[in-house]
């Protein structure tokens, strides 16, 4: 037995002396354990824009629901024939990439990053949470990133929490607090970030206006009286400008290789009806020159009916949206003006709602390169465009819907809230004539966070596309 044990003893001694050597071997040479705040910030901006402007959450879902775009083949999503694995990237990227990276910035100690990084991170995180709750309803918020099976919060809790988060973000941001790099949107211009914070507060205030008018009013006032102000011109617009391939605009990348989408007939018809100068920006003429006019694709058709409209006889979205460098607009100046108009109309703040409404449309026309004063005034002076003070939701709803072209998630949220324009589900849709009111939760929530999920749907209602969310009062 001694003979047996002896070598073992030697080995044991040898091995223990090799302990540090084994630690060294297991040091990961492929990635770093120490993140850089600037690199995380660039990541959040780039991946956030990809998510917001990309296929799954935008042009293959919300942009179809609001009938900005339509599918000319593979019409299942346009017919709402989708499953609970159809809306996973907003959830997964939103939480495990964007919120996690932004939380990493927030968790740095104060000597590692200045408070402007934290203010920006908190602002962007609020934006992501807002996208999530607008789309799904109740979502993990307070326990997100903290527990393995986080509980869901109601929309009311989330919106209220986000208003507080944005107030805190505003207090973290100050030009004097230090410089920020990696900011590929505002190039470290902190005053623009401060404007964005107020603008987001205003967006949320209106989101909850039908359910919590007092809180909405309070938030709208806070957002508009803050000294930093709101986005004050198209140069303040919060947008991610893409570069050339492979860092190109996601819609541009899609059209490089595929031909699945057309601008929606609903949008084209509306723009024709209003003689809207944005039509030639939003749409291309069909490739078959004999057509000679803009023709939208109808939403919610069967594959063969969609196909029979003719690939060459229908209009693709405008080249403005399909160039590699096309921007992903996330918060436009015109939206701020529409929001102010509505806040006035609702009596939250003082001002001239009609004038703000006109300015909002003008800002949108400018945004898309239409600057001719005569063209603009001719457009504004049409009876069909004029502000209707008796039904602000209709005027603002229709114009906001046009101005949001391409911003599927926000167009979808505002259409649900304002209920204008009136949209009709296509003939081959599968929801008994209804249009979706939300996204499905990812199916994996049922297996991975089942108890929290069941609790959430027991208060919110069945996990169906047609279940109305809290903020969507009507």
Q: Per CB under 8 A, which of residues 396..455 are in contact with another protein?
A: 427, 430, 432, 440, 442-450
Nearer to another protein, 16 or 350 (CB): 16
* Residue 338 contacts another protein per CB under 8 A: no
Instruction: For the CB of residue 38, give the shortest distance to another protein in the complex, in Å.
Output: 8
Report the residue from 164, 225, 232, 243 that binds another protein according to the rule CB under 8 A.
243
* Residue 251 contacts another protein per CB under 8 A: no
Beta-strand ranges (E) seen in 174-245 are 238-241
**For the range 29-35, what are the long-range contacts, defined as Cβ-Cβ under 8 Å and sequence gap of 24 or more?**
35/101, 35/104
Could you tell me which residues are beta bridge partners of residue 69? Answer: 263
Q: Rule CB under 8 A: which of 257-316 touch another protein?
A: 257-259, 302-304, 307-308, 310-312
Nearer to another protein, 85 or 377 (CB): 85
Position of tokens 């324009």?
A: 421
Instruction: For the CB of residue 368, give the shortest distance to another protein in the complex, in Å.
Output: 24
Q: Taking the CA of residue 39 as centre, how many other CA atoms within 13 Å lie in the half-sphere pointing to its CB?
A: 4
Nearest by Cα to 406 from 199, 286, 249, 298:
249
Q: SS3 sequence, 93-112?
A: HHHHHHHHHHHHHHHCCCCC
Report the residue from 35, 178, 233, 347 that binds another protein according to the rule CB under 8 A.
35
Instruction: For the CB of residue 234, give the shortest distance to another protein in the complex, in Å.
Output: 21
**Contact criterion met (CB below 8 Å) for 260 and 269:** no
Report the residue from 48, 137, 140, 406 that binds another protein according to the rule CB under 8 A.
140
Q: Is 383 exposed, middle or buried (0-12, 13-18, 19+ CB in 10 A)?
A: exposed
- The whole-angstrom separation of Cα 40 and Cα 18 is 37
Nearer to another protein, 140 or 397 (CB): 140
Report the residue from 66, 122, 128, 139 that binds another protein according to the rule CB under 8 A.
139
Q: Rule CB under 8 A: which of 204-233 touch another protein?
A: none
H or E segment to which residue 331 belongs: strand 327-331
Nearer to another protein, 112 or 244 (CB): 244
Instruction: For the CB of residue 381, give the shortest distance to another protein in the complex, in Å.
Output: 37
Contacts for 271 with CB less than 8 Å, ≥ 6 apart: 278, 279, 282, 283, 294, 402
* Residue 46 contacts another protein per CB under 8 A: yes
Instruction: For the CB of residue 140, give the shortest distance to another protein in the complex, in Å.
Output: 4
What is Dmax (Cα atoms) for the chain?
Answer: 104
Neighbours of 295 (CB within 10 A): 21
* Residue 8 contacts another protein per CB under 8 A: yes
Q: Which stretch binds another protein (CB under 8 A): 9-17, 60-68, 106-114, 220-228?
A: 9-17
Nearer to another protein, 47 or 167 (CB): 47
Size of the site for another protein (CB under 8 A): 97
Instruction: For the CB of residue 450, give the shortest distance to another protein in the complex, in Å.
Output: 6
* Residue 458 contacts another protein per CB under 8 A: no
- The whole-angstrom separation of Cα 278 and Cα 275 is 9
Nearer to another protein, 100 or 355 (CB): 100
* Residue 23 contacts another protein per CB under 8 A: yes
What angle is formed at CA 193 by the lines to CA 192 and CA 197, rounded to 5 degrees?
Answer: 120
Instruction: For the CB of residue 80, give the shortest distance to another protein in the complex, in Å.
Output: 11
Nearest by Cα to 165 from 124, 115, 213:
124
Q: Is 136 exposed, middle or buried (0-12, 13-18, 19+ CB in 10 A)?
A: buried
Report the residue from 63, 82, 131, 283 that binds another protein according to the rule CB under 8 A.
82
Instruction: For the CB of residue 283, give the shortest distance to another protein in the complex, in Å.
Output: 18
């Amino acid at each position: 037995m001694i003979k047996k044990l002896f070598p073992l003893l030697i080995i044991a001694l040898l091995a223990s002396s090799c302990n540090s050597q084994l630690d060294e071997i297991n040091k990961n040479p492929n990635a770093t354990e120490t993140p850089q705040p600037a690199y995380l910030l660039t990541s959040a901006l780039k991946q956030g824009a990809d998510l917001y402007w990309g296929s799954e959450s935008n042009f293959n879902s919300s942009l179809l629901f609001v009938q900005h775009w339509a599918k000319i083949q593979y019409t299942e999503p346009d017919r709402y024939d989708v499953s609970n694995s159809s809306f996973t990237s907003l959830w997964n990227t939103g939480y495990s990439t964007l919120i996690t990276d932004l939380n990493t910035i927030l968790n740095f100690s104060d000597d590692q990053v200045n408070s402007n990084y934290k203010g920006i991170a908190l602002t962007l995180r609020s934006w992501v949470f807002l996208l999530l709750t607008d789309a799904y309803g109740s979502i993990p918020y307070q326990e997100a990133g903290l527990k393995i099976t986080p509980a869901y919060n109601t929309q009311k809790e989330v919106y209220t929490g986000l208003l507080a988060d944005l107030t805190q973000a505003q207090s973290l941001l100050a030009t004097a607090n230090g410089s920020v790099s990696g900011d590929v949107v505002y190039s470290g211009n902190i005053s623009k970030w401060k404007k964005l914070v107020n603008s987001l507060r205003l967006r949320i205030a209106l989101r909850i206006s039908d359910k919590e008018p007092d809180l909405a009013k309070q938030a709208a006032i806070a957002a508009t009286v803050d000294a930093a102000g709101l986005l004050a011109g198209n140069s303040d617009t919060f947008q991610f400008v893409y570069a050339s391939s492979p860092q190109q605009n996601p819609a541009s990348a899609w059209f490089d290789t595929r031909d699945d989408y057309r601008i929606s007939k609903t949008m084209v018809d509306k723009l024709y009806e209003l003689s809207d100068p944005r039509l030639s920006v939003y749409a291309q003429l069909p490739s078959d020159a004999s057509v000679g006019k803009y023709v939208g694709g109808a939403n919610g058709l069967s594959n063969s009916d969609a196909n029979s409209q003719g690939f060459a006889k229908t209009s693709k979205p405008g080249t403005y949206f399909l160039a590699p460098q096309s921007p992903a607009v996330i918060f436009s100046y015109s939206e701020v003006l529409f929001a102010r108009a509505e806040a006035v109309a609702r009596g939250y703040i003082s001002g001239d709602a009609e004038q703000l409404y006109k300015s909002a449309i003008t800002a949108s026309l400018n945004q898309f390169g239409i600057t001719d004063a005569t063209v603009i005034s001719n457009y504004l002076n049409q009876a069909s465009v004029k502000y209707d003070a008796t039904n602000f939701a209709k005027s603002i709803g229709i114009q906001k819907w046009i101005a949001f072209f391409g911003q599927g998630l926000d167009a979808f949220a505002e259409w649900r809230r304002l209920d204008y324009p009136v949209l009709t589900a296509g003939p081959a849709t599968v929801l008994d004539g209804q249009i979706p009111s939300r996204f499905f939760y990812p199916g994996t929530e049922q297996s991975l966070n089942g108890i929290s999920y069941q609790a959430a749907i027991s208060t919110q209602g069945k996990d169906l596309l047609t279940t109305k969310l809290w903020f969507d009062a009507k």
